[in-house]
Structure 1
């Protein structure tokens, strides 16, 4: 495990050269737990977007976390003003407004995914009380997989209220979904509004019935520029790629980090800026479409308070059934770990 950490400081203040009036200095402190590729990419994205006045990287690997923090700090001149700290002391996270947990166990030869999940959940149970002790008022964003069960474990062992613990859930899946739809239809991805719900995993549910392009229901959009219609076969292929594209990336370069780093930074930004942005984060669901007591993703209002109202997104009977199946799968997995 590289619980992703280090010593240090490497803090530098800086500003972007040029421009008549500098932007207002951000006020948030964001702590990133885990200085591996995802944690470092996330910290980089938070800094580039100007979402925090201070970014702390915490990891038990002192040399690595110091190196990551120094590398980021040396580029502060080219970003909005911020302070970067790398430390192997959990006290560095004190007073954070948002704590993002990317740390997890690393797979060893002969281990199964279930073995890996057991180790990661064990780490979560150890880590969360320590983090809450130093940052009791933070909103906690869980990134480590299996993210839904990890989020559920973090909520249960932290004693925090529901809204204060959320996972990145299907934020990345939904981004992949929108990208693939945009590629097929031939429009800008920013004009596609569509969500993946349920588990961040094999039972993820594409919500085709509520998807729109420019306000027009996706399934009513005629073929553009002679492109193929979104037939059931095409939709199945897109849904399959949403779930399985990570495997291709991992096979090619060993890990995913850019898209999840960007997705996670966008959740952080929604919290620190109190945006009330609708995002498919993973949070505790109770009494929603017949689902109770499990963390999974549905479109949710994200603000300074954390995970807020769950939106009553329209769904077909088949989509509701698939969402319940996803919840049942997660319940079964949680029970394996006595959650």
Structure 2
């Protein structure tokens, strides 16, 4: 993998893909070459032109162009944001069968190009689509990553920060499990700086309560549905989440992000791809951090694993 060149290929120039590309350009310095690939080549060319025309206002120079699958050969990261859109009222898992066929037409030519970098998947249902990418590519598990619950975790920290009137950066909390209806917040692991939030909630001297935590968890879980109802799709937040993960990989940051990663015995499970805190560096997933869940949280995690396995097992790959 040519880490010094920092080349990223984006497959899928819809709203999610282009929100990522726009975020990448505006943050600057993360990569110096961005290739756009789409089944609609006219659109990919138009998007490349549009981004290039704004480079004079960007923080750093980038080479941006519409390309083909052969351009993946020397890329560091291939980001997959292609797929059919989630409809109003449709769960992420409802998208599965429609998107598997899309991925068959993407992963095979990417691998045939000689690509030897990291796959980063954003397409929903992201945990299953990440596992589909892993099965189709036959890459090592550490080099196939999904956005997982990274955006959900950002939403959680924002809401908790607002609730406690604390900078979200000083809230240490994670949403784990399926990026979908069975995701949950292991409240036993939530910290404000180094103080467990459970201790704050138990302190009768303040007005904070456990019911508010459950309300916040529900807001996080249903956020995408509300955004889709209001504006038909979600894309800015996930675009920024993709940028953050790419930055962690290319910068070899060893940052902890809640990505969709393959369990190899962690939490007592194997093979399933699911959102868990993971250390992310230049080679992808360096390590999965296993949280010390209580019994109730372990049951919730088990339920999430079961949901993902039930939907993946019938697939023919």
Per the TM superposition, whether the score is higher than 0.5 is yes
Count of aligned residue pairs for this structure pair: 311
SS of residue paired to 1:293: strand
Moved more, 160-169 or 309-318: 309-318
CA distance in 2, matches of 1:301, 1:197: 15
Match of 1:204 in 2: 183
Work out whether 1:144 is the aligned partner of 2:127. Answer: no
Q: What are the superposed Cα offsets for residues 220-260 of structure 1, whole Å, 9 maximum, x if unpaired?
A: 23699x973132x2121111111101111111111111110
Work out which of the residue numbers 78, 81, 85 in structure 1 matches 2:65.
Answer: 85
After alignment, is 113-122 or 61-70 more displaced?
113-122
Shift in Å, 1:112: 8.2
In the alignment, what sits opposite 1:130? 109
Match of 1:234 among 200, 204, 212: 212
Which structure: greater helix fraction?
2
> Relative to 1, partners in 2 of residues 1:230 and 1:108: Cα closer, same or farther, differing over 3 Å?
closer
- Structure 1 residues 255, 147: CA separation in 2 closer, same or farther (over 3 Å shift)? same
Matched, 1:309 2:299: no
- Whether the 8 Å contact between 1:65 and 1:86 is mirrored in structure 2 is yes
- Is the 8 Å Cα contact of residues 185 and 223 (structure 1) preserved in structure 2? no
How big is each residue's C-alpha offset from its partner over 1:81-138, in whole Å with a ceiling of 9 and x where there is no partner?
1111123x22233311011100002468999865631020122123112112225211
TM-score (norm 1): 0.86
Structure 2 residue aligned with 1:154: 133
Cα distance in 2 for residues equivalent to 1:209 and 1:116 = 32
TM (norm. structure 2) is: 0.92
Cα root mean square deviation, aligned: 2.2
Aligned to 1:267: 245
SS in 2 for 1:302: strand
Which of 131, 137, 149 is matched with 1:170 structurally?
149
Deviation for aligned residue 1:162: 0.5
Residues 149 and 258, structure 2, Cα contact 8 Å, conserved in 1:
yes
Instruction: Give distance in 1, aligned partners of 2:91 and 2:149.
Output: 23
Question: Which structure 2 residue ranges, 5 or more long, are not aligned?
Answer: none
Q: Unaligned regions of 5+ residues in structure 1, if any?
A: 1-25
Distance 1:305 1:77 in 2: 32
Q: Within 2, Cα distance between the matches of 1:85 and 1:337? A: 35
- Taking the aligned partners of 1:242 and 1:153, their CA distance within structure 2 comes to 26
